[in-house]
A and B are shown apart, each in its own frame.
Chain A
Amino acid sequence: MNTATPSVAQERRYNHQPPSLYVVNAFYDWLVEVSADLAQAVVRDAAAVDAARRHAIAQLLAVESRLLDQGAGAHAAYEHWLTLYAEECAYWIPADSPAPDPRQTISLEFHDRRRLLDRVVRLGTGLAFSQLPASRTARQWSGLEVWSSPGRTDEWRARYSFTLVESRAGHSRVLAGWNGFVLRQIGDRLRIVLKQINLIDNQNPQGNNSFFL
């Protein structure tokens, strides 16, 4: 499952693969800036991103949520899901709105790539009792907006509103909110650098969210 290609020297130095070398102050500074931009109440120029790029991003985000819906029935879907993410990525569920600086305040979840791998492997053990039975989910989202990251030609930001219906053990519930994304062209692939999940009730008590939102 390790996606890094460790040299012998790296193996010796880092016990926990892949090492999390990118989650440093500069990364947090960037997250705080991006987070504020994603949440801005502004009118953006819809024509600023060309139709082909916009379509590619919409397609990627559709696959992202569809693979998560499939994870409950087929664990392999999570492994495909992870390939959509950049090596240096973050999956972040703030515990407040607007999202506070994650260096100051606890988040509901804050994962780097390694912890996403941990969670995928944990769900695959068949022993994660909060997911026995597994949550089946159906995600709907709409209102996709896409704009360019300031000063970059290889990176875009996006957001949409979602509802997520979960059914588990005979009970259904609805989660809702908006997701913010950063997407970057890396080599010949467009990949997700950040997924920020902003639940409308993130200040209120949560239920069993041990699947991926």
Chain B
Amino acid sequence: MRTTNQRSTLPVPPVAPDPWDDLVQEDRVHRRVYTDENIFAREMNNVFAATWVYVAHESEIPEPNDFKLAWLGTRDVIVTRDEESVVRVFSNRCSHRGASVCREQRGNASQFTCPYHGWRFDNRGQLFGIPGKNAYGPTFKARDMHLSRPAQVASYRGFVFATLNPDAPPLVKHLGNAARYMDAWIDYNGGAENLVLAGTQLFRLACNWKLIWDNAGDGYHVPFSHQSLLVMTHARYGGGDMTYFAEADRSKMSNSALDNGHTAIDQRAEMHAESAWQQQRPQPGREPYQDYVAATYGEQAKRVLDTTVGAGMNINIFPNLALIGNQVQVLQPTAVGETVMHWYATRRKDVDAQVNTMRLRTQEDFPVMGEMDDAANFEECQRGLFNHPEDEWVDMSRHYETGKDVAAEDGIIRGLVTTDLHMRNYYAQWKRLMQANPTLCLARGKL
């Protein structure tokens, strides 16, 4: 019974008694959404498999035979560029007994040999070598034993996504009007052909992934959570970066609800009002760099300095990709109460080495002086939600009743920057996905 492109439909664990409309209301969410292991198990299928999930940036695997490990939620995958330069995604799970076939984070290899019994796969995941093959019979040989592949893989301007759902709409449709924000961010960084990921900082947080995602569009917390940074910056330099969040709702920043749960905070009107560079906290080597840019770029100097520090946009592609400043943040949920945050730096091929060095020095500022304070708060939220079962609700009603979230001319609903519109928008999508009964498929047939 040989079938090429054989697909197996994965069972979805039932969470039937959960009334999703009760758990996710218009302006509040039930704590169990952050603490319940069954809900997490269902998320790994209904969210982190049934919709498009970011897996890699093409600049991480620039050459033929390059590979890197990646994840769709808790599923391990290998992302490769094959000999014909086609990007491939397949499971890092041996078709024999389940061992991982690749145990290096990244590298260059035309084939992978499973360390357990030595089965060999090419870098498209195709099985081509079984030691002692004569010991297997016709029934075995009729089975497809290639490494399994997500139903769909697609790339948007260098950002590679995958889904196990054969019925998921095309990637561009899924991105919808968020694509134009991504375009603005990518173009600000020199265009898709010039953007290169430049290493990653990894953090493990003891909280549900959604506590991090809630914050990705939270324009409310800044003057409180990051008060130490604002006080220090004021004391040492008389003010600077993020000061405009003090009276955030009187600022020109906005918070947008985009298609399919995506969102964006646009800080550009404040951050780039005069000069993003001038507002930036000082980086190592700032002064000689500024002199160098002034001497080298003439009239373009201001633009070069401003692009060094950040795009002024936070673009959140639900469920796991956030473009923040000049950085790319990716969430990897590992358990209901644990998440790994991958924070990639970026550099550009179309600027000189000094500019790229200063991009890195700028990007190293916030993680240790800001993100750690956020992380501490997320972890405290997780503890509070877990330890207090009678206190059921997580609030997301800010500006829900003020009539300030309104449709703009372009049809996008926008609110003041401190609105909880981001949470309300992504939770609506989360609920749609969790209510659905998607088909999840892995292809195992010969390519």
Contacts and interface: CB of A to CB of B under 8 A. Distances in A.
B250 interface: no
B360 A129 contact: no
Contacts of A5: none
Interface residues of B, number: 49
Contacts of A19: 286-287
A28 B356 CA distance: 13
Contacts of A17: 236
Interface string A1-42: 100000000000011110111111101100000000000000
A205 interface: yes
Looking at B233, B284, B375, the one whose CB has the most chain A CB atoms below 10 A away is B284
Contacts of A110: 284, 360-361, 364
Contact of A106 (B232, B236, B364, B375): B364
Nearest to B346: A106
**Most chain B CB inside 10 Å of its own CB: which residue of A23, A103, A106:** A106
A95 interface: yes
A103 B232 contact: no
Contacts, number: 141
Contacts of A125: 227-228, 231-232
Contacts of B236: 1, 16-17, 117-118, 121
B14 interface: no
A206 B203 contact: yes
Interface string A90-109: 10000110001011111111
Given A21-B288, A24-B288, A106-B360, A128 B373 contact: yes
A112 B202 contact: no
A106 B284 contact: no
B369 A122 contact: yes
A110 to B, nearest CB: 5
A128 B121 CA distance: 50
B229 A122 contact: yes
A127 B227 contact: yes
Contact of B202 (A121, A126, A205): A205
Given A106-B363, A118-B232, A20 B286 contact: yes
Contacts of A14: 287
Interface stretch (B58-66, B139-147, B193-201, B437-445): B193-201
A119 interface: yes
Category for how many chain A residues contact B: 35 or more
B136 interface: no
A172 interface: no
A139 interface: no
A17 B281 CA distance: 11
B308 to A, nearest CB: 14
A210 B198 contact: no
B376 A28 contact: no
B375 A114 contact: no
A23 B283 CA distance: 10
A205 B232 contact: no
A206 B287 contact: no
B106 to A, nearest CB: 10
Given A104-B198, A108-B201, A115 B284 contact: yes
A185 interface: no
B92 to A, nearest CB: 17
B273 interface: no
A177 B375 CA distance: 24
A23 B364 CA distance: 15
Contacts of A207: 203-204
A205 B203 contact: yes
B227 to A, nearest CB: 4
B318 to A, nearest CB: 22
A14 B367 CA distance: 25
B282 interface: yes
B249 interface: no
A95 B367 CA distance: 13
Interface in A33-74: none
B76 to A, nearest CB: 15
A91 B168 CA distance: 48
A208 B237 CA distance: 26
Contacts of B229: 122
A111 interface: yes
Contact of A105 (B198, B341, B367): B198
A102 B377 contact: no
A140 interface: no
Nearest to B339: A205
A83 interface: no
B199 A105 contact: yes
Interface in B181-227: 198-204, 225, 227
Contacts of B283: 20, 115
A129 B286 contact: no
Given A109-B364, A130-B372, 13 more contacts: A16-B286, A96-B199, A105-B198, A106-B199, A106-B363, A106-B364, A110-B361, A111-B284, A118-B281, A125-B232, A208-B375, A210-B368, A210-B369
15 contacts: A16-B236, A16-B282, A17-B236, A28-B357, A95-B201, A103-B357, A106-B198, A106-B201, A106-B345, A107-B364, A111-B284, A112-B284, A115-B365, A206-B204, A207-B204
When A and B form their complex, which 8 residue pairs have the shortest distance between CB atoms, in order from nearest? A23-B285, A205-B204, A106-B345, A105-B199, A112-B284, A16-B282, A130-B372, A210-B372
Interface of A: 1, 14-17, 19-25, 27-28, 90, 95-96, 100, 102-112, 114-115, 117-119, 121-123, 125-130, 132, 203-210
